Amino acid sequence: MSDSLVRAAHDVLIVGGGGAGLRAAIAIAETNPQLDVAVISKVYPMRSHTVSAEGGAAGVIAADDTLDEHIYDTISGSDWLGDQDAIEAFAHEAPRELLQLEHWGCPWSRQPDGHIAVRAFGGMKKMRTWFAADKTGFHMLHTLFQTSLKYNEVTRYDEVFVTRLLVDDGRVHGAVAVGLMTGKIQAVTGKAVILCTGGCGKVFPFTTNANINTGDGMSLAYRAGAPLKDMEFVQYHPTGLPFTGILITEATRAEGGWLLNKDGYRYLQDYDLGKPSPTPELRSMELGPRDRLSQAFVHEVEKGRTSDSPWGPVVHLDLRHLGEQVIDTRLPFVRELCLKYERIDPVHELIPVRPVVHYMMGGVHTDIDGATPVAGLYAAGETACVSINGANRLGSNSLPELLVFGARAGRAAAEYASAARAAPAVIEAQAADEVRRLERDVMGREPGTERISTIRDDMQATMEEAAGIYRTGPAMAKGADALAELQQRLLKAGVADTSRSFNTELTAALELANMLDIGECILRSGLEREESRGAHQRLDFPDRDDRRFLIHHLVHRNPDETPRVAPLPVTITRWPPGERIYGR
């Protein structure tokens, strides 16, 4: 191989090999087999975080269900901040996408007659969540990955870490990336680029997210001139295992699990979520939306009705009444996880749980086809914000979102790339710049007194303090100042590892820089939003304020690298803002 700065040229370059990235790649290969597609991923595609999704994927298929109901549930779940045109497109295309996956071999759980089985899920009025036991994401990702192997036109760069997008004159032309194995820094060009880099849970200390979920794509886009949208909306999932933060899926509650406080009381009935009934009621009690359930937990803590654990207060998830048979056929992974990581058996014991950072509603601002304001740059999956999730995502809407908008972005990028020109020569210079930055500024820094892991710990603590389930203006402002200080400290942290090959200290440093960007955007957007909506709850502004804040927030990066927040109207089609009613 030559030592040229440009490693290869492709028509479409996809950054990320998770559910969204692979779906996009297949969509392109199927729409236009002439196009040359590449997928770059910092881990092997089947390691992507989609693999750990458990509960299921929503799509209207049951006879008693309608698209309008799915749309309404999603809109009210989003606290009316979702764009209704996007949600309509989403609900319409989700069933087809899930069927497509069925045709590609996804082992969906079935009814006795061989038809697809669906289960209930939080905030959904009908049973519409497709599932593959409780390893839905795992099966979806492996199905997509294995199916993608069939298309020879898809080139893969596995374990290659993207550090920068190449943009010239408002158009994207590719990316610079480090090959982890070799340590080589090279550009890979693409006429169109799709960011599918997943979530950013690692900005917080206690999260269900994997080590790789550092929001790289959001930061890449932000630095390349594309704004981030609705970054203040971070979802806390009500049921994570203490210490590890491993998720106990909402499907446990859909199958009939109860949340109990330390008195064995189903406390959700005290928070306007309906009355307890022995069998699960849709859109009620334990099947309410995640934002409301996580908030109820905080109030229980304040009332002193939670139990103590070495890792803070917990409540309990009770599955005992479901019986071994149901748990083993519908929730085997939950049992496996509890036995392994908590040494308890949910068939006989209560599971200790507490809210945990789970999902980023915000992300790279895109239109309904995944296009960002930067020509040729697209985004899809958790890293993007179309937005269908608004202020609060409903469980099981993310997996179908990956498919619907992954495919849409793929098709749009394919069309763009067919007409676009090859990369101009100036990008060579940009690539050279980036090589210099990485080699001199990051790798070349003397390891000083600062350590990357310490700064990361401090950032996570700052974010938990400033952007938790309940927030205040002063706390967010203080957090933003603390992050600015951490930015400065990062400039002094050196990389002790001088080896080229698999230098995970280098990638950790780059990821930390990305996360600091994201943390800043979360807090800046949060400060601007002086209301409480969905996952953004402010003690100093406890009510929703549709007059001032029925808007998205776009965070742009100023030339001096500071963030600037601007409003964007929400698209309303048929569902005017109303009250969110659960359990009534």
Partner 1 sequence: MPDSIRLEVTRYRPDTDSEPQRQEYDVPLRKEWTVLDGLNHVKNEVDTTLSFRWSCRMGICGSCGMNVDGEPKLTCATFLTDYAPGPVRVEPLANFPVVRDLVVDLFDFMERLPRVKPWIIRDDDVTEVDGEYLQTPEELDAYKQFSMCINCMLCYSACPVYGLDPTFIGPAAIALAERYDLDSRDHGARERLDVLIEHEGVWGCTFVGECTRVCPKHVDPAGAIQRYKLKAAKESVKAFLLPRGTR
Partner 2 sequence: MTEVRTYRRPMSIWWWTKKRSYFVFVMRELSSIFVAWFVVFLLLLVRAVGRGGAAYDDFLDWAASPGIVVLNFIAMGFLLLHTVTWFNLTPQAMAVRVHGRPVPPAVVIASQYVGLVVVSAFVYWLVTR
Ligand X SMILES: Cc1cc2nc3c(=O)[nH]c(=O)nc-3n(C[C@H](O)[C@H](O)[C@H](O)COP(=O)(O)OP(=O)(O)OC[C@H]3O[C@@H](n4cnc5c(N)ncnc54)[C@H](O)[C@@H]3O)c2cc1C
Q: How far is CA 56 from CA 109, 127, 257, in A?
A: 10, 11, 16
Minimum distance of ligand X from residue 148's CB (angstroms):
12
- 451 is known as an active-site residue: no
Minimum distance of partner 2 from residue 332's CB (angstroms):
17
Single out the segment in contact with partner 1 by CB under 8 A; choices: 137-145, 359-367, 463-471, 520-528.
Answer: 137-145
Q: Which of 90, 131, 138, 204 binds partner 1 (CB under 8 A)?
A: 138
Residue pair 141/18 in contact (Cβ under 8 Å)? The answer is yes
Among candidate residues 171, 173, 253, 529, the one labeled active-site is: 253
Among candidate residues 70, 128, 173, 237, the one labeled active-site is: 237
Per-residue interface string for the shown chain with partner 1, residues 503-542, x marking contact by CB under 8 A: xxx-------------------------------------
Neighbours of 182 (CB within 10 A): 14
Q: Is position 44 an interface residue for partner 2 (rule: CB under 8 A)?
A: no
Minimum distance of partner 1 from residue 241's CB (angstroms):
9
Radius of gyration of the CA atoms of the chain, in A: 23
How many CA atoms lie within 13 Å of 300's alpha carbon, on the beta-carbon side? 31
User: What angle, 0 to 180 degrees and rounded to 10, lies between the N-to-C axes of helices 216-223 and 504-528?
Assistant: 70
Sites for ligand X among residues 436-465 (CB under 6 A): none
- 253 is known as an active-site residue: yes
Instruction: Go through the chain and tell me how many residues it has.
Output: 584
319 binds, options partner 2, partner 1, ligand X, none, Cβ within 5 to 8 A by partner type: none
Stretch (H or E) spanning 418: helix 398-419
- Where would I find the beta strands (DSSP E) of 94-229? 118-119, 129-130, 154-158, 160-168, 171-179, 185-195, 228-229
The count of residues interacting with partner 2 (CB under 8 A) is 4
Q: Which of 32, 84, 396, 462 binds ligand X (CB under 6 A)?
A: 396
Residue placing its CB nearer to ligand X in the complex, 413 or 565: 413
Q: Which of 380, 382, 349 is nearest to 366 (CA)?
A: 380
Q: CA-CA distance, 147 to 154, in Å (whole number)?
A: 11
Neighbours of 336 (CB within 10 A): 12
Sites for ligand X among residues 21-50 (CB under 6 A): 21, 40-43, 45, 48-50
Q: Is position 211 an interface residue for partner 1 (rule: CB under 8 A)?
A: yes
Minimum distance of partner 2 from residue 138's CB (angstroms):
23
Q: Look up residue 236 and give its amino acid.
A: Y
Residue pair 259/560 in contact (Cβ under 8 Å)? The answer is no
Residue pair 196/406 in contact (Cβ under 8 Å)? The answer is yes
Q: Which of 146, 211, 309, 501 binds partner 2 (CB under 8 A)?
A: 501
Sites for ligand X among residues 365-384 (CB under 6 A): 381-383
Q: Is position 43 an interface residue for partner 1 (rule: CB under 8 A)?
A: yes
Q: What are phi and psi of 124, to 5 degrees?
A: -105, 135
Q: Could you tell me which residues come within 8 angstroms of residue 103 by beta carbon, excluding any fewer than 6 positions away?
A: none
Q: Which residues form the interface with partner 2 (CB under 8 A)?
A: 1, 181-182, 501
Question: Could you list the active site residues?
Answer: 237, 253
Residues that bind ligand X (CB under 6 A): 15-21, 40-43, 45, 48-50, 52-57, 136-137, 161-162, 196-199, 208-209, 212-213, 216-217, 247, 249, 358-359, 381-383, 395-399, 402
